[in-house]
């Protein structure tokens, strides 16, 4: 792939190990490996629709790093901006399925991705992108990662790019009291923000979508997702709500990333807000019905949902 990206996603991607067949991790004798990372999940979904999707990060010079790079490239994601570290490993996490839901165990402290710093933006800017997509996971990884994200919002180092931000709060990385002010400040500086109402409740005490907009009046577009209820977008178009379709949930991991990808796909095609939210819901439904972090999207069906230009 040459030329600027439509979307460049920046953040950590790890190897994920899951019991096969699904069962509590303590009882598992066989694990299958896969790839998981919020930002690269978005890139993988976008690539399924022919979007010029890139992923920038840092991997260890180890077999897991090679596995991640090869897997993302096979999914159609441009990994040419993913750096390799000789001094830190690729992160790993384990899924622990249980009747009450799946728990995730991270082994990412000191990972190669945690050593990312603002110098990464030099390569992204040289390549160019219409959108840069980040999440609230990255600033929790290390001080240099937090600086990388702050710099993206404050200096706008990728010339002409819109900045998309998924709040994506992870309780295993930091507490609500630590994360709340940081994530609110970052979201306030973004052009496009995705946040779950459940996250906003934990972080800022919001109990309704309108409360979130009151807390974050600055972003040009704010999308508040309320699980099985629906999603509300606030922006130049006014306020638009689209209910979520009924879905049989297999596993919720990755649904937010799929929603963001669907929204960005429609935004790249110049679609109205209702279509953006509708396609976000459709891809989220695909993710909810799958055990993997990235499912195969019904490309023809989704593209048929786009309105004529």
Enzyme catalytic residues: 257
Q: Which of 43, 22, 186 is nearest to 95 (CA)?
A: 22
Cα 225 to Cα 241: distance, rounded to the nearest angstrom? 10
Q: Are strands 92-96 and 103-107 parallel, antiparallel or unpaired?
A: antiparallel
Question: Do residues 13 and 82 make contact, with C-beta atoms less than 8 angstroms apart?
Answer: no
Cα 3 to Cα 56: distance, rounded to the nearest angstrom? 15
DSSP string, the chain: --S-EEEEEES--EEEEEESSS--GGG-S-EEEEEE-HHHHHHHHHHTTT--EEEE-EEESSHHHHHHHHHHHHTT-B-TT-EEESSSPPPEEEEE--TT--EEEEE-TT-SGGG--TTHHHHHHHH-EEEEEEETTGGGT-HHHHHHHHHHHHT--STT-EEEEE----TTT--HHHHHHHHHHHHHH-SEEEEEHHHHHHHH---SHHHHHHH---SSEEEEEETTTEEEEEETTEEEEEEPPP---S--TTHHHHHHHHHHHHHHTT--HHHHHHHHHHHHHHHHT-SSSSPPP-HHHHHHTSPP-
Cα dihedral 127/143/176/15 (nearest 10): 60
């Amino acid at each position: 792939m040459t030329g600027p990206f439509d979307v460049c996603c920046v953040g950590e991607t790890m190897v994920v190990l899951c019991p096969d067949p699904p069962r509590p991790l303590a009882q598992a004798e066989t694990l299958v490996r896969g790839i998981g990372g919020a930002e690269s999940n978005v890139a993988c979904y976008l690539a399924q629709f022919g979007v010029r999707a890139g992923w920038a990060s840092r991997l260890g010079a180890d077999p897991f790093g090679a596995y991640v790079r090869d897997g993302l490239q096979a999914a159609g994601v441009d990994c040419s901006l993913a750096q390799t570290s000789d001094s830190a490993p690729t992160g790993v996490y384990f899924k622990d399925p249980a009747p009450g839901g799946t728990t995730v165990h991270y082994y990412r402290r000191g990972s190669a991705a945690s050593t990312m710093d603002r110098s990464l933006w030099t390569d992204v800017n040289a390549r160019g992108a219409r959108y840069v997509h980040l999440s609230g996971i990255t600033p929790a990884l290390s001080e240099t990662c937090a600086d990388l994200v702050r710099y993206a919002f404050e200096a706008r180092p990728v010339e002409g790019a819109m900045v998309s931000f998924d709040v994506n709060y992870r309780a295993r990385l930091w507490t609500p009291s630590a994360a709340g002010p940081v994530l609110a400040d970052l979201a306030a500086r973004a052009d496009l923000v995705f946040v779950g109402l459940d996250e906003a409740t934990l972080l800022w005490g919001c109990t309704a979508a309108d409360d979130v907009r009151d807390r974050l009046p600055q972003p040009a577009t704010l999308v508040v997702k309320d699980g099985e209820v629906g999603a509300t977008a606030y922006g130049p178009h006014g306020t638009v709500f689209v209910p979520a379709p009924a879905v049989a949930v297999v596993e919720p991991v990755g649904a937010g990333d799929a929603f963001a990808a669907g929204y960005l796909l429609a935004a790249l095609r110049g679609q109205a807000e209702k279509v953006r939210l509708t396609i976000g819901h459709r891809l989220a439904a695909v993710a909810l019905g799958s055990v993997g972090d990235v499912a195969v999207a019904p490309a023809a069906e989704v593209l048929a949902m786009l309105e004529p230009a």
